Amino acid sequence: MDYIIRYATKTIIMLALISLANSCGSGDASKQPLPYDEYPVYAGNDLELNFSEAETWFRIWSPMAGAAEVRLYERNEDTIPWEVLKMKRAENGTWTARYKGNLHHRFYTFRTRHFNHWLAETPGIYVKATGVNGQKGFICNPREANPEGWENDRGPVVKSFSDIILYELHVRDMSIHANSGIQNKGLYKGLTERGTTNNWGQSTGLDHIIELGVTHVHLLPVFDFRTIDETRPEDNAYNWGYDPQNFNVPEGSYASNPHDPLVRIREFKEMVMAFHNAGIGVIMDVVYNHTGETENSNFNLLAPGYYYRHTPEGHWSNSSGCGNETASEREMMRRYIIESVKYWVTEYHIDGFRFDLMGIHDIETMNQIRAALNEINPSILIYGEGWLAGDSPLPENQRAVKAHAYRMPGIAVFSDDLRDAVKGPWYNEHETGFVGNVQGLEESIKFGVVGSIQHPGIDYSKVNYAKAPYAADPTQCINYVSCHDNHTLWDKIKLTVEGADEAERIRLNKLSNAIVLTAQGIPFLHNGVEMMRSKKNVENSYKSPDSINQIDWNWKYIYKSAVKYHQDLIRLRKEHPAFRMQTAAQVQENLEFLNLSTPCVVAYTINGEPLGDAWKRILVAYNGNRKESRIAIPQGKWKIFVNGDRFLDAGLPHSGGNSLVLPASSAMILAETE
């Protein structure tokens, strides 16, 4: 989440327009007040344009406008249109224009007049292709940019969301370092290259992701965002992309030629197809909760004020922390989000969506998104941040926050409960957590282990944040310990665990992700966490240079044992359905916590046999103590399969009876195989 505060400074004209638009029924003539909720709703699917070689139809929704026009340009860089089409008022707040003739590969903008004032030009909100920097729309059929074989492209088949293992990455970070071995550095095409290696001959880029074994990549925003000047790649400018401009257009700074509108479309599809050919799904990080601009956003230039929430005083509400928040509960905004995600699925074959600050959206909108995507492909994953960055006019009982996850079937939320229990709170860079030997967090760890559901073995009064279960099933819980936000796991450990040398910090890293990858729910890994990724202690790197954000592929060699450990954990999870239960009932019936008196230790058993697991019974133990710990375990014919750093594929018989010694800062996994 980009937490830059972009408060409006040029508000006089636009706030006046918004006030007038909200109190009048026409763009140029005063009428009775018309609340936003009473704006007409257009239900057609032809907003923006319909193109053929014979003619092009344009349609926008701008119910309060007094006039509207289409401005046609020969080239993107032109400042004077070669023709202006007057639009006619049409049904339900729309305006239309028709051009007879072939406009193939021409550019266009819309302009609307409100109260005798022409607003700035906009490519519209439904635009699918743009020129460089996204200021003008481009007339084309996006399918003309389809790569060869695109019609046969398919994402991975997902039987259960619990089978998914997520890996979050930024397009530029993966390839920009000099030692990545990737030619198309910082670009979509860089993620399509195979056979790339670092200085030590180890795989990088796409091959590394395949080798790691994750099932889906989560791409930080790849829609068109406004911060980067696409005409100046030599600036090496950087941004995470949480400042949306054109929601239905791929970002141009990741394309080899941002000046050609078709190149970004083709190369984005080539990237998706490369992942799909490797059996890996593609998740888009989407930011429908706010826009990069406010007064001059594409939304506001068509329907001033409508698409946003406002404070009782009439100011922009700002629960995003970025200057504004969108009003998903309003019908045309809700319809827009739904149509947008459907477009990414049908046109770009996207396999899922991560909703930034999902708590800003209303529950009904999220449920309608789930229903709409179910009609296309029920295995499309939807998850999001179940919180806001500030207060909102949206009533609390309507917010899509984690406490309401049970009211949003088929939608998952991030577990900040487990995240901060494992490594320490996000808001204090000097405080550690369970892996740093902090006592009293055991119930929070257990809450993550069961996937945030109701379970009799948990005292919810002792969970750090949530005091009640919020997931109806474990598939509604995203378990993680690090992501693009805040310090990397490696940096957090270095900052908070006093006296730890590098060897111990590596153990703490491994234990952290052992918890994530053995817990019920959907595990989420931050790109580079498997090789001790550092951002040099920069906490918020949303616009930091490559030197802070890039993946240094030498880390893979330096920490090759840790990379192997993460590979083995992922393989273990994929091989054993006991770690991937699908329902709350399965978890409640088959997972039981050990009643331990040893602080900073969590242990539990899973009945694997009823779940179809080759291991009849499984014992998992996490030791958050920075010293060896001894616990009592149930009697059984146990074999040790994971002992701290070591994976023992054949299993080593446990000879300690009902006593188990846990190495310092480590996880152990035992099983009965017969």
Element (H, E) at 270: helix 261-277
Catalytic residue, candidates 153, 356, 416, 530: 356
Residue 287 CA to residue 278 CA, distance in Å, equals 27
DSSP class of 406: G
Contact 131, 76 (CB under 8 A): yes
User: HEC profile for 157-213?
Assistant: CCCCHHHCCEEEECHHHHHCCHHHCCCCCCCHHHHCCCCCECCCCCECHHHHHHHHC
Residue 489 CA to residue 532 CA, distance in Å, equals 8
Residue 604 CA to residue 443 CA, distance in Å, equals 12
Contact 338, 288 (CB under 8 A): no
CA angle 284, 286, 289 (to 5 degrees): 170
Closest residue by Cα to residue 85 from 106, 64, 116, 115: 106
Closest residue by Cα to residue 354 from 343, 341, 342: 341
Catalytic residue, candidates 385, 416, 491, 530: 385
Q: What is the DSSP track for 417-486?
A: HHHHHHH--TT-TT---GGGT-TT-HHHHHHHHTTSS--TT--GGGSSS-SS---SSGGGEEE-S--SSS
385 included as an active-site residue: yes
φ/ψ of residue 146, rounded to 5 = -65, 130
Helix (H, G, I), strand (E, B) or coil at 338: helix
Closest residue by Cα to residue 514 from 405, 607, 620: 620
270 included as an active-site residue: no
As given in the structure block, the two tokens for residue 199 are 């200085």
Identify the residue whose tokens are 């400018």.
237
Give the count of beta carbons closer than 10 Å to the beta carbon of residue 630.
12
List active site positions.
356, 385
